[in-house]
Structure 1
Amino acid sequence: MEGDRFMKLETYPDEEMLAIDLANTIAGELNSALMQDESARVLLAVPGGTSPGPVFDDLCAADLEWERIDVVLTDERWVPEDDPCSNTRLVKERLLTARAAAARFLPLYTAAHEPEEVLAELESMIGPELPIAVALMGMGPDMHVASLFPGMEGLEQALAPDAPILMAVREPSRQEARVTLTARVLNGALSKHLLISGDEKRAALERALKLPPEEAPVQAVLGGTTVHWTE
């Protein structure tokens, strides 16, 4: 693919092969991080949505020291875990099961009316575990990553080098409250992977390579990232 010379593109014949290969890659990277310091914990960041589900199904069975792994979402809707739209619900049902049930989950939601009321509390759990060892990210057709949307209020701050760990944001089209890791935190990951499927998202990625992050937020995290794509 033309574009960011630091970005790598992996293509797969189908979703099953992508899921198996990506899960094995992430497991290997987590294991390497665990071996770097046998007393330390490592942090895995994962997206919500339906796309990563098959990857989670394979990754959860990996033979790792899951008790030393923390899992955090790249972003979360401000809804309780029992809400069908909760990313936490997906992660607990598809990833934090089998061997991976021993991992520790760091939430991006807690009971409060608005996320701004508890951001400091949520950040206090994540900050000590940074940097992210492995970040798995998704991308929307509008070129958003995590909950960093084109045109949203606060995007400039979320993309800034001195951004906080977390930001409360609202999706422009729906004004739905969300909490997201900022570009600085995602970019600080030791390994970064972007999972996309279908021609629409492939075309969106091609567009993003030619646009500034303010118009295509995914552009802010593409450097050094491996993109995994299947039709």
Structure 2
Amino acid sequence: MNPTEPTRFGPAADHLTRHPHASEAALADALAHDIAQRLSAAIEARGQALLCVSGGKSPVPLFQALSGLPLPWAQVTVTLVDERCVPAEHADSNAALVRQHLLQGPAAAARFLAWVPPTHTPDHTRVQRPAWPQARAVYAEWVEALNTQLAPLWPADVVVLGMGLDGHTASIFGQGEGMADALSTPDLVVATRPPHAPHDRLTLSLAALQGARHRVLQISGAGKAQVLQQALQAPNKARPVGLVLQPGAANPSHTVSVWMGA
């Protein structure tokens, strides 16, 4: 493991530490060890730890590196940053991705809190999904249950985020249904509908994310680095990642780091 020296982003985001790495493998290994140290410290301090992770292809090497590390995994709860409203066996399910790549080896002992009920069968794609008011009514029961389950565990010890080239993070987009709620609600979880993506979503809210003890943003490539820099210089709802990475007013001691691959 050869992490480079962390640096700062400058006056626009002095609260952030930046961890650049020359390869995806080096980034995944270094970040896995950093997360493991934070989870171990949480367990030592409070007897348990909560880790929230994102889906997509980018975190798979991280999941594989983290899953083999020797932690007291039975004292760790793993849950999601966001989820698509699809059945558990669907190819786009974040829960399925986590089960396949993170909850393996030693990490299989962790408790996993999935978001979509196992009884869910409809696939609300852009072609067949109902109008937003009707869909939101379906998700309201799920959202209420998740808020009830997560509240005793909050704040999360580590939240691992990704970012799109449009500046979205979690399932908080610059446009779409439910986005105003995601930015303003005190609740932990809300339902959203991205303007172009095929599935409705459940996501941690801005308040939930800013309340986490440590927020990690994992990105790669010059394009995303440029988008992030722009979002940090002028945080606004058009690029929600800039808002999500701001210091939480209620939790100024909580930390934020950005891990950047080539």
- TM-score norm. by structure 1 comes to 0.94
Paired AA for residue 225 in structure 1: V
1:57 to 35, 60, 64: 64
Say if 2:178 and 2:193, in contact at 8 Å, map to a contact too: no
Say if 1:109 and 1:115, in contact at 8 Å, map to a contact too: no
- TM-score norm. by structure 2 comes to 0.83
Q: Deviations over 1:48-87 (max 9, x none)?
A: 0110100110101111111111111100000112111111
Paired AA for residue 64 in structure 1: L
Matches within 5 A, 1:207-226: 207-223=230-246, 224-226=255-257
1:128 to 144, 148, 152: 152
Say if 2:82 and 2:202, in contact at 8 Å, map to a contact too: yes
The aligned counterpart of 2:77 is 70
Distance in 1 of aligned mates of 2:65 and 2:22: 17
SS in 1 for 2:233: coil
The aligned counterpart of 1:118 is 142
The aligned counterpart of 1:227 is 258
Paired AA for residue 66 in structure 1: W
The aligned counterpart of 1:203 is 226
Counterparts in 2 of 1:174 and 1:134: CA distance versus 1, 3 Å:
closer
Deviation at 1:175, TM superposition (A): 5.9
Say if 2:86 and 2:199, in contact at 8 Å, map to a contact too: no
Paired AA for residue 151 in structure 1: Q
Paired AA for residue 129 in structure 1: L
Q: Which has the larger radius of gyration?
A: 2
Say if 2:219 and 2:260, in contact at 8 Å, map to a contact too: yes
Say if 2:160 and 2:217, in contact at 8 Å, map to a contact too: yes
1:173 to 193, 196, 216: 196
Deviation at 1:214, TM superposition (A): 1.0
Task: Answer 1 or 2: higher relative contact order, Cα 8 Å, separation at least 6.
Answer: 1
The aligned counterpart of 2:107 is 100
Unaligned runs of at least 5 residues, structure 1:
none
Paired AA for residue 195 in structure 1: Q
SS in 2 for 1:118: helix
Distance in 1 of aligned mates of 2:192 and 2:148: 19
Say if 1:115 and 1:178, in contact at 8 Å, map to a contact too: no
Paired AA for residue 134 in structure 1: V
Say if 1:106 and 1:126, in contact at 8 Å, map to a contact too: no
Q: Deviations over 1:126-149 (max 9, x none)?
A: 111111011111111111110000
Query: Number of matched residues?
Result: 228
Q: Deviations over 1:13-41 (max 9, x none)?
A: 1001000000000000000000003xx32
Paired AA for residue 102 in structure 2: L
The aligned counterpart of 1:87 is 94
Moved more, 78-87 or 108-117: 108-117
Say if 2:115 and 2:142, in contact at 8 Å, map to a contact too: no
Distance in 2 of aligned mates of 1:87 and 1:157: 22
